[in-house]
Amino acid sequence: MPTLTVDGKQIEFKQGQTIIEAARFAGIEIPHFCWHPSLSISGNCRVCLVEIEKMPKLAISCSTYATEGMVVHTHSQKTVEARNAVMEFILINHPLDCPICDEAGECKLQEYAYVNGKGESRFEEIKVRKEKRVQLGPHIKFDGERCISCSRCIRFSDEIAKKNQLTFVQRGDKVTITTFPGESFDNPYTLNTTDICPVGALTNQDFRFKSRVWEMSKTDSICVGCSRGCNTEVWVRNNEILRLTPRHNEDVNSYWMCDRGRLETFKNVNAGDRIDGTYIRREGQLQKVSWGEALNVTAKSLKDYKSSEIAFIGSAYATCEDNYVLAKFAKSLGVTNIDFADHIIPGDQDDILIREDKTPNSLGAELVGVRPVASGMNFSAILKGIKEGKIKALYVMEEDVISLDKEWQSAIGNLDLLIVHASNENKTTALADIVFPASTFAEKNGTFVNFQGRVQRIRPAVATEEMDRALDGMEMSRWDKFGTGFDRWMQGHKFDSKPSWKIFVALSQLLGFKMKFNMAEEVFAEMSNSNSAFKGLDYDVVGKHGAQLKIKQTANA
């Protein structure tokens, strides 16, 4: 491969790479504002200026192609002076409002001003005033004074979202960003512009003024909004999720995620309708009871029915581990009536990220065995069996079956026993005989399989009472393994919930099956040993970016 030298270090590059790309690949960061690895080159911020030997003047590294034998200096006196001058120019009209700016703590302008700024301004005139708090679209507010005209948002709207909705207007120091006349910045991906905006010009209306970035913990996770499985970061303060942001993974979602996934998929975790404890119906009312009582009553109740009279409903919203243990529990009871519901909205899909399947794990649920066994009933047949009185006991895991179809509401009345795992109150829990509080995606370890057959990890970002008990007495030095801000993560209200697989393990012990799983990782290990699709995988192999399963076809591919 051809090579060039950057700051005395010889590095290899691929033909067609620019200097900034080659340097970044080698771990050398060149300051930049307008350049982004997934957007076209605009070359208008000039912060990435570098000195190239045998060239008469400085060149911008974002649009200068690397060539064999090129020698580049990113910290020479000439380069640093030019960079400082560019920073001084950018800061001339920039408001000094870092103390109240949402971008503080993750602002490129703030970082570069500290490293490359002079610390004082020679500009003594009145700064240019522009519009503030402009509602560009339903989710975005724009502050014209903070904008440095990098054009990232404009290029994203045109090149990635495929909706050419933003543009520059005016000239010189009056230049600003706006939508086209009569248009609203309302495409399904608008909030990605708040991520790529290097300053605080574009802000997420849902997150505005809620927290400083350094006051939150950050946990790698997966979006549960559809079968794409976008990689995300969950930001938590006082045990409450405040925002989701996309996490880079070129095999799944690149740098992006849709607005619905960002805004809607975590609200149930914080909601006031969370099920906080176990409940049993007595005298027509659900009454809160202890975990031990609820588990004992459930175990005794299931013994009263023949295996053919019981059906299990799994969930494409639950993890592979939850569904695997459900399938194993059903098999232990001899139950063959087992399936899960589809959540496909025909036509609600695009060529960017959004999928018709609105669940994160339909392929995973199918792969781990949540499908009818032998002559067992599928989802529609279970409904029919309830109506005909053949199914007398229904066990539903993390699915609101009554909201799916009006027929379910009338059929549920025919049951003798309805057991439900749920994180939030819903129409099915309202009619249940026994309710167990299930942990949400943000409160447990586990895996999802996206529509492409890629298995990916979720991790606990929000603490539950169960975690408190498990971590009681843990040495402070061991908290580091849970990520930054773990002390803040443990503060605030915690719900009394458990992962669904743990509830089945506890029930199996009462029924004499004695599943021996203590951690989600142990469930996954058994899956990988018994299921050819997961063969050779463990949590370490899956890692931060997932692993491709050994399967021939994928659902909705």
How do residues 541-557 score in pLDDT, each as one tens digit?
999 999 999 887 544 44
Phi, psi of 432 (to 5 degrees): -75, 155
Yes or no: say if 263 and 139 are a contact pair by the CB < 8 Å rule: yes
Pick the CATH number of 278-443+497-526 from 2.60.40.1120, 3.30.70.100, 3.60.130.10, 3.40.50.740: 3.40.50.740
What is the fold, at CATH topology level, of the domain defined by 3-91? Ubiquitin-like (UB roll) (3.10.20)
pLDDT of residue 250: 96
Greatest distance between any 2 Cα atoms in the chain = 89
Residue 479 structure tokens: 């908290």
pLDDT of residue 478: 45
pLDDT of residue 122: 80
pLDDT of residue 481: 45
Could you please report the per-residue DSSP string of 86-110?
HHHHHHSS----GGG-TTTTS-HHH
pLDDT of residue 493: 78
**Residue 54 CB partners (closer than 8 Å, separation 6+):** 71
Query: What are the structural domain ranges in the chain?
Result: 3-91, 96-108+118-209, 278-443+497-526
Tell me the three-class secondary structure of 254-295, residue by residue.
ECCCCHHHHHHCCHHHHCCCECCCEEEEECCEEEEECHHHHH
Q: Is the dihedral of CA 407, 379, 336, 356 positive or negative?
A: negative
Please determine whether the domains at 96-108+118-209 and 278-443+497-526 fall in the same fold group of CATH: no
pLDDT of residue 181: 87
pLDDT of residue 271: 87
In the three-class reduction of DSSP (H, G, I as helix; E, B as strand; rest coil), residue 553 is classed as: coil
Looking at domain 96-108+118-209, its CATH architecture is 2-Layer Sandwich (3.30)
pLDDT of residue 472: 52
- Which of the residues in the chain have pLDDT under 50? 474-485, 554-557
pLDDT of residue 154: 97
pLDDT of residue 324: 98
pLDDT of residue 340: 97
pLDDT of 408-452, one tens digit each?
999 999 999 999 999 999 999 999 999 999 999 999 999 999 999
